[in-house]
Amino acid sequence: MTQFPPFLEETDDTRDAIMRATYAALCEHGYNELTIQRIGDEFSKSKSLLYHHYDSKDDLLLDFLSFMLDQLEGQIPTYRAGGADDHIAEIVEQTFDLGVAEMGTDFTRALVELRAQAAHDEGYREHFTRSDQFVRKHVAHTIRSGIEQGVFRDVDPQETAALFQLVFVGTMTQRVTSDDDILEDGRSAFERYVRECLLEAE
């Protein structure tokens, strides 16, 4: 059974219901086997509404990705009350736990498949560029806050955020495309980087 994130609860709103149905179908079938018909099988309203609002599977998926990013942008805080260092620790934890927690492996696998479309589809490329920029902006802001709080070294926030972004995408891709068990080693090395290069010495 598909485990939905909190913002995809059952609803009477048509667009939200379409997004929920898309999430469920995408987790079950992945990108290649996904069709409008299979999304319709998960949709509680008339399937004709899907064809009325969307011209193709990719048209629907790009709206779905935009919806998911809008939800993330609306919910993620700059940093928790405990401080920027606690929030960075949470970001590292979520980065290496992505695909095993709230949104599981099925959705992570589908997300990697969708990202792969950006290699030859401008619409997907524009979306993932926007998504990457959001992640970097969020991390960079947290880094700046940590420097101001005196818990981070005087690093370059943009460069540090770029590293976090590359680790995030690489970890997500590695988890669902390879059986080579290197994530724990990678996590240990990245946590050591945070301790030795980012956190201010006590």
Report the pLDDT value the prediction gives residue 71, as an integer from 0 to 100.
Answer: 86
Q: Which residue has the tokens 């420097």?
A: 147
172 and 84 inside one domain:
yes
The closest of 5, 3, 6, 41 to 22, measured between CA atoms, is 41
Quick check: pTM over 0.75? Answer: yes
Q: Which amino acid does the sequence have at 171? A: T
User: DSSP 3-state assignment of 1?
Assistant: coil
What CATH number should be reported for the domain holding residue 87? 1.10.357.10
34 and 118 inside one domain:
no
190 and 100 inside one domain:
yes
Structurally, how many domains does the chain consist of?
A: 2
CB 173 within 8 A of CB 75: no
pLDDT tens digits along 60-116: 999 999 999 998 877 665 555 568 999 999 899 988 886 555 457 888 999 999 999
For 12, the domain range is 1-75
93 and 168 inside one domain:
yes
Q: Which residue has the tokens 């809008």?
A: 70
142 and 179 inside one domain:
yes
Mean pLDDT estimate for the chain:
89
Instruction: State phi, psi for 108 to the nearest 5 degrees.
Output: -60, -45
